[in-house]
Amino acid sequence: MNDELSARLEFIEAIDGLKLIERRNYLVDGSRVENSAEHSWHAALMAAICAAHCDEPIDLARVVLMLLIHDVVEVQAGDTYLYDLDARSEQAEKEQAAAEQLYGMLPERQAQEFLALWNEFEARETPDARYAKAIDALLPLLQTTACDGKGWRERGITREQVLEQKVGIRDSSEALWDVARTLIDLAYERGHLK
């Protein structure tokens, strides 16, 4: 086996750990929390399905790849709950180090491509990144509202907290933002958010 293929296969083995990273979001039926690998797959598929609702031209292949790799860093850095602002402030440094180490396992050109794509996602400065971030924000909102706000109710999350964390959806798609606002308002009316 050549060195580049060997490096790629080692990376594939390493990222299998993403299946073990539990998130705080429940599945739509509320039966269990999802893992980060499930989230990445679901977000990538959602991006492809909802691309017609993006307000800016995007490169869908880049967006899908961005979403497939955006949480790979959690293999080493773990998942941080969106509404835990203290933990999130410390997470950026851990995730950057994990990104450099994990993507660095790949052959140099591919490692640079994946790290650049991950950094682009984190920075939200391009249409592709804004759309990927919008999908990454909307998917858990859909899941949480579908299971009657189970995760929010368990943690006492407020309507204002959710609005603050989800408002970035608007930067990519007014249509998706309208959906998000409607879901948040319904969740509040039903008592799923404080």
- pLDDT tens-digit series, residues 95-137: 999 999 999 999 999 999 999 999 999 999 999 999 999 999 9
Entry pTM: 0.95
Confidence of residue 82 (pLDDT cuts 50, 70, 90): confident
Residue 14: which of 87, 65, 76 has the closest Cα?
76
CA angle (16 as vertex; 10, 17 as ends), nearest 5 = 110
> Sorting pLDDT into bands at 50, 70 and 90, what band is 86?
confident
Residue 159 has pLDDT above 80, yes or no: yes
Structure tokens at 22: 């539990």
Token pair 């682009």 is found at: 120
Structure letter (DSSP) for residue 35: E
Secondary structure (3-state) at 33:
strand
Euclidean distance between CA atoms 25 and 18, whole angstroms: 15
Q: Which residue has the tokens 């899941």?
A: 143
Q: Is the pLDDT of residue 16 over 90?
A: yes
Q: What is the pLDDT of residue 50?
A: 98
Helix (H, G, I), strand (E, B) or coil at 173: coil
Q: What is the pLDDT of residue 158?
A: 97
* Residue 89 pLDDT: 79
**Does pLDDT of 21 surpass 80?**
yes
Query: Given this model, what pLDDT does residue 107 score?
Result: 98
Fold of 3-189: Hypothetical protein af1432 (1.10.3210)
Q: Which residues pair with 22 in a beta bridge?
A: 35
The model's confidence at residue 183, banded by pLDDT at 50, 70 and 90, is: very high
Rounded Cα–Cα distance for residues 8 and 133 (Å): 26
Please report where in the chains the tokens 């790849």 appear, as a residue: 65
**Are 17 and 40 contacting, i.e. CB atoms less than 8 angstroms apart?**
no
Residues 150 and 144 sit within 8 Å (Cβ to Cβ): yes
Q: Tokens at residue 106, please?
A: 């790949």
Q: What does the CA dihedral 130, 135, 136, 137 come to, rounded to 10 degrees? A: 90
Give ∠ CA 149-150-152 in degrees, rounded to 5: 65
Average pLDDT over residues 70-92: 89
Average pLDDT, the chain: 96
Q: What is the pLDDT of residue 88?
A: 81
